[in-house]
């Protein structure tokens, strides 16, 4: 057996297919330009060669329950590499698959360790409109019920926009999470194509983010701020979280391209592919260092959080500015300015686990 040099957390999108029409989608345009790998033998060869150095796989990008080979792949990994943690981020259509295919339901229950379900609004009409499908809220509720029935580790994930971060909506999401024994995960909105009229509709300002985090800290539980910017400034740097992009986490796209981040998926980051023999050996040598500049931005030099924040989330910096040398766009500080911000209480115990914790910059809460 080859010596294990590095362990990866993998986000894997097996399909371009999706049954929603989300205006904020980070991969919609990419799906129109790339082909899927349709030969499952290529995927199985890649698994056999590389999964001795994989810790976890989360299936995202597209709706993987629409992929004809997805069930076979999760079963294959579970059989060959049972220590690899597997999860899925689904828009809720998972329940429809289980209702239509009872054999698939058994594989899903047996092989998946965690199910992550997208729900942005606690009100049915608003969520359906936001996601562009009149059935999606019902799918979410059915999938939550499925998870509760089978006692699966469950996460409700919502995208953080100026509208979803309204306190009334936060309360509704926590109420739903409580009913179904779910953790809540917040993914702050990424402006995939820079600042334009479309992205401005979704970007929350720091005041709104701060209000929500302080409200949650007072009324619920903060499990983890798995984000270099927010873990630094809201815990005074006592709970720093490094950005794992390209160091311990990666994304595989439907055409087999390997990228350093869920959101860094444009051509300049797609230099490797799972079709390359023993491709993880290449990654163990450079870990995407030729693609990502981790130098501290000059504007962060005098910041008291510089040593822990390190400029913030890499993907947000590049998406906003096409430049890693700029600081995180959600940073509230001006040049050299340090504003007093209340410290938040992190309440995670040893029992908190999530396939997404340390996989990408994201925030976790519970009732």
What are the structure tokens assigned to 341, written together? 């911000």
Q: Please tell me whether residue 124 adopts helix, strand or coil conformation.
A: helix
- How many whole angstroms from its chain centre is CA 62? 13
Residue of 157, 175, 176, 170 lying closest to 212 (CA atoms): 170
Question: Cα 335 from chain centroid?
Answer: 30
pLDDT at 6: 65
Provide the token pair at 136.
């999606």
CA distances for 124 relative to 77, 166, 264, angstroms: 36, 16, 31
Q: What is the pLDDT of residue 87?
A: 97
Element (H, E) at 114: strand 114-118
8-292+342-366: what fold? TIM Barrel (3.20.20)
Please give the pLDDT value at position 4.
45
Tokens 């230099």 correspond to 271
Q: What is the DSSP letter of 225?
A: E
Beta carbons of 51 and 77 less than 8 angstroms apart = yes
Task: For residues 274 and 301, give the distance between their C-alpha atoms in angstroms, rounded to a whole number.
Answer: 39
Helix (H, G, I), strand (E, B) or coil at 199: helix
DSSP-derived 3-state class of residue 278: coil
pLDDT at 33: 59
Show the tokens assigned to 362: 């994201």
* Euclidean distance between CA atoms 78 and 210, whole angstroms: 41
From CA 170, how far away is CA 130, in angstroms rounded? 16
The label of the residue with tokens 């965690």 reads: 114
Q: Is 238 exposed, middle or buried (0-12, 13-18, 19+ CB in 10 A)?
A: exposed
Q: Return the closest-CA partner of residue 74 out of 153, 19, 10, 2.
A: 10
Q: Count how many Cα atoms sit within 13 Å of the Cα of residue 232 in the half-sphere of its side chain.
A: 25
Q: What's the alpha-carbon Rg for the chain, to the nearest Å?
A: 20
Is residue 140 within 8 A of residue 127, CB to CB? The reply is: yes
- pLDDT tens by residue, the chain, 367 residues: 344 456 899 999 999 888 888 877 766 666 565 689 999 999 999 999 999 999 999 999 889 999 999 999 999 999 999 999 999 999 999 999 999 999 999 999 999 999 999 999 999 999 999 999 999 999 999 999 999 999 999 999 999 999 999 999 999 999 999 999 999 999 999 987 777 777 888 999 999 999 999 999 999 999 999 999 999 999 987 888 899 999 999 999 999 999 999 899 888 999 999 999 989 888 888 789 889 989 899 999 989 899 999 999 999 999 999 999 999 999 998 765 666 788 888 887 667 889 998 888 999 999 9
Neighbours of 343 (CB within 10 A): 12
The per-type count for the chain, helices as H runs and strands as E runs, is 14, 11
Q: What ranges make up the beta strands (E) of 230-299?
A: 249-252, 257-259, 272-273
Q: What is the pLDDT of residue 168?
A: 98
Domains of the chain by residue range: 8-292+342-366
**What does the alpha-carbon distance between residue 136 and residue 261 come to, in Å, rounded to a whole number?**
27
- pTM for the full predicted model: 0.94
């Amino acid at each position: 057996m080859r010596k294990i040099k590095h362990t990866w957390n993998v986000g894997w999108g097996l399909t371009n297919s999706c049954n929603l029409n989300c205006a904020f989608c980070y991969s919609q345009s990419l799906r129109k330009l790339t082909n899927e790998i349709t030969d499952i033998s290529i995927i199985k060869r890649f698994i056999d060669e590389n999964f001795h150095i994989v810790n976890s796989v989360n299936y995202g990008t597209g709706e993987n329950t629409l992929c004809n080979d997805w069930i076979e792949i999760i079963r294959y990994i579970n059989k060959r590499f049972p220590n690899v943690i597997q999860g899925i981020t689904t828009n809720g259509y998972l329940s429809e698959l289980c209702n239509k295919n009872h054999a698939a339901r058994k594989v899903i229950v047996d092989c998946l360790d965690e199910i992550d379900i997208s729900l942005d609004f606690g009100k049915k009409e608003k969520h359906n409109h936001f996601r562009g499908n009149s059935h999606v809220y019902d799918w979410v509720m059915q999938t939550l019920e499925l998870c509760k029935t089978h006692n699966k580790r469950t996460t409700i994930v919502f995208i953080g926009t100026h509208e979803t971060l309204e306190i009334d909506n936060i309360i509704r999401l926590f109420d739903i999470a409580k009913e179904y024994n779910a953790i809540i995960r917040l993914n702050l909105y990424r402006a995939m194509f820079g600042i334009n009229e479309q992205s401005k509709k979704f970007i929350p300002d720091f005041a709104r983010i701060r209000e929500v985090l302080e409200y949650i800290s007072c009324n619920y539980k903060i499990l983890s701020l798995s984000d270099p910017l927010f873990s630094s400034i809201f815990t005074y740097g006592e709970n720093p979280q490094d950005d794992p992009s390209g160091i311990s986490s990666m994304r595989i796209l439907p055409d087999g391209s390997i990228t350093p981040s869920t959101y860094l998926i444009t051509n300049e980051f797609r230099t490797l592919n799972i079709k390359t023999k023993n491709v993880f050996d290449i990654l163990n040598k450079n870990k995407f260092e030729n693609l990502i500049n981790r130098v501290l931005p000059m504007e962060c030099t005098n910041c008291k959080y510089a040593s822990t924040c390190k400029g913030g989330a890499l993907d947000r910096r590049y998406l906003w500015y096409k430049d890693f040398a700029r600081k995180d766009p959600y940073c509230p500080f001006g040049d050299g300015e340090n504003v007093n911000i209340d410290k938040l209480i992190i309440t995670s115990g040893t029992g908190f686990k999530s396939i997404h914790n340390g996989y990408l910059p994201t925030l976790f809460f519970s009732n």
